[in-house]
Structure 1
Amino acid sequence: MADPVVRSLGLLIVVSATGNGLFLAVSTLWFTRGLGYSTSRIGLALTLAGVCGVLAAYPAGRAADRYGAKRVLAVLHVLQAAAMAGFAFAGAYPAFVLLACAVTAGSRANAAVRSTLYAHGLPAATRTPALGLLRAVNNAGIGAGAALGAGVAAFDHHGAYQAAILANALTFLLALLPLRAVPAARPAAEKSLSDRPGGSHRPDRSPSPARSPGALRDRPYLAVTALNAIVNMLYVVLEVALPLWLVGHTSAPRPLVGVLLVLNTVLVVALQVRASRGVNELPAAARAFRLGGLLAALACVTAAAAAHRAPAPATVILLTAVLLLTLGEVTSQAGSWTLGYALAPDHAQGAYQGVFQTGISLTQALGPVVVTALVLPHGTAGWIVLGTVFGGAALALPPTARRAARHRPVPYP
Structure 2
Amino acid sequence: MSTTPATPASSLDGPSSRSARLLPADPTLRRAGLLVALNALGNGLYFPLGVLYFTRIVGLDATAVGLGMTVAGVVGVAAGVPAGRAADRWGARQVGSWLWGACGVATAAYPLVHSYAGFLAAVICGTGLQMASRGVQGAIYADVLPAQTRVEARAYLRTVTNVAMGVGGAFGAIALQLDTRGAYVTVILINAVTFWAPALMVRRLPLAPHALERAAKSSGTATVDRWRAARDLPYLTVTALNAVLAVQYTLVEVGLPLWIVERTEAPRWTAALLTIVNCSLVALLQVRVARRASRVPSAVRAMGWSGLLLGAACAVYALSAGLSPVWAVLALTVGAVVQVLAEVLSAAGGWTLGYELADARVHGVYQGVFGAGMSAGMMAGPALVTVTAIQHGTAGWAALGVLFAAAGLAVRPAVRWAERDGEWRGETSGPSAL
Same-fold call, TM cutoff 0.5: yes
Q: Secondary structure at the match of 1:195?
A: helix
**Are positions 1:68 and 2:82 aligned together?**
no
**Partner residue, 1:102:** 125
Equivalences for residues 14-93 of structure 1 within 5 A = 14-93=37-116
Whether 1:410 aligns to 2:425 is yes
Q: Encode CA deviations 1:94-113: one digit per residue, 9 max, x unaligned.
A: 11012111122111111111
Contact 2:96 2:133 (8 Å CA) reproduced: yes
The DSSP-based 3-state class of the residue aligned with 1:361 is helix
> In 2 relative to 1, CA 68–212 (structure 1 residues): closer, same or farther, beyond 3 Å?
closer
* Alpha carbons of structure 1 residues 212 and 218: separation in structure 2 relative to 1, 3 Å: farther
Residue 242 (structure 2) pairs with residue 242 (structure 1) = no
User: Structure 1 residue 388 and structure 2 residue 402: aligned?
Assistant: yes
Aligned to 1:158: 181
Task: Give the counterpart letter for 1:389 in structure 2.
Answer: L
Tell me the distance in 2 between the aligned counterparts of 1:38 and 1:200. 56
**Aligned-partner Cα distance in 2 for 1:405–1:92:** 52
Aligned pairs (5 A) from 1:304-383: 304-383=318-397
Measure the CA separation in 2 of the matches of 1:129 and 1:256.
Answer: 32
Secondary structure at the counterpart of residue 146 of structure 1? helix
CA contact under 8 A between 1:221 and 1:343: conserved in structure 2? Answer: yes
Deviation by residue 1:86-139 (Cα, 9 ceiling, x = unmatched) = 112211111101211112211111111110011111122111111111100010
Change (3 A) 1:412 1:280: closer
Give runs of aligned pairs for residues 224-303 of structure 1, distance below 5 A. Answer: 224-303=238-317
Change (3 A) 1:399 1:412: closer
CA contact (8 A) 2:85 2:364 kept: yes
SS of corresponding position for 1:175: helix
Residue in structure 2 matched with residue 172 of structure 1 by the alignment: 195
Amino acid at match of 2:217: D
Instruction: Name the amino acid aligned to 1:226.
Output: A
Superposed CA offset, 1:240-262 (max 9, x none): 11110001110100011111112
C-alpha contact 2:73 2:131 (8 A) present in aligned 1 = no
Structure 1 residue runs of 4 or more that deviate by more than 6 Å after TM superposition: 210-213
Q: TM-score of the superposition, structure 2-length normalised?
A: 0.89
Task: Determine whether 1:124 maps to 2:147.
Answer: yes
The answer to whether 1:135 aligns with 2:158 is yes
Residue 28 of structure 1 deviates from its aligned partner by: 2.1
Length-normalised TM-score, structure 1: 0.93
Q: Which residues of structure 2 form unaligned runs of 5+?
A: 1-23, 429-434
Aligned residue in 1 for 2:431:
none
Q: CA deviation at 1:195?
A: 3.0
Aligned counterparts of 2:281 and 2:378: Cα–Cα separation in 1? 22
- Specify the code of the residue in structure 2 equivalent to 1:153: L
Distance in 1, matches of 2:201 and 2:30, equals: 9
Contact 2:304–2:408 (Cα < 8 Å) also in 1: yes
* Equivalent position to 1:195, from 212, 217, 220: 217
Partner-residue secondary structure (3-state), 2:49: helix
Q: In the aligned structure 2, how far is the partner of 1:83 from the partner of 1:67?
A: 23
Amino acid at match of 1:220: P
Query: Residue 308 of structure 1: SS of its match in structure 2?
Result: coil
Specify the alignment match of 2:10 in structure 1.
none
- The count of residues paired between Structure 1 and Structure 2 equals 404
Deviation at 1:375, TM superposition (A): 3.0
Which amino acid in structure 2 is aligned with residue 356 of structure 1?
F
Change (3 A) 1:200 1:102: same
Maintained 8 Å contact 1:21/1:149:
yes
Measured after TM superposition, the shift of residue 179 of structure 1 is 2.0
Alignment check: 8 A CA contact 1:120 1:185 kept: yes
Q: Which residue of 2 aligns with 1:218?
A: 232
DSSP 3-state at the match of 2:88: helix
Which amino acid letter does the alignment assign opposite residue 33 of structure 1?
R
How many Å separate the matches in 2 of 1:184 and 1:71? 12
- Matches of 1:259 and 1:94, distance apart in 2: 38
User: 1:74–1:286: structure 2 CA closer, same or farther, 3 Å change rule?
Assistant: same
User: 1:412 offset after TM fit, Å?
Assistant: 9.9
Letter in 2 for 1:79: A
Identity value in percent: 41
The 2-side partners of 1:362 and 1:118 are apart by 21
Aligned CA-pair RMSD: 2.2
Query: Per-residue deviation at 1:185?
Result: 7.2
1:207 — aligned with what? Answer: none
Q: Which segment is superposed worse, 364-373 or 343-352?
A: 364-373
5+ unaligned residues in a row in structure 1: which ranges? Answer: 205-209
Partner AA of 2:107 in structure 1: M
Native 8 Å contact 1:220 1:407 kept in 2: yes
What letter corresponds to residue 46 of structure 1 in structure 2? M
The letter of the residue matching 1:410 is R
The equivalent of 2:206 in structure 1 is 183
* Contact 1:54–1:105 (8 Å) recurs in 2: yes
Residues 97 and 200 in structure 2, CA contact (< 8 A), matched pair in contact too? no
* Range with bigger deviation, 311-320 or 102-111: 102-111
Contact 2:248-2:381 within 8 A present in 1 as well? no
Distance 2:207 2:152 in 1: 21
Cα 1:213–1:32 change in 2 (3 A) is closer
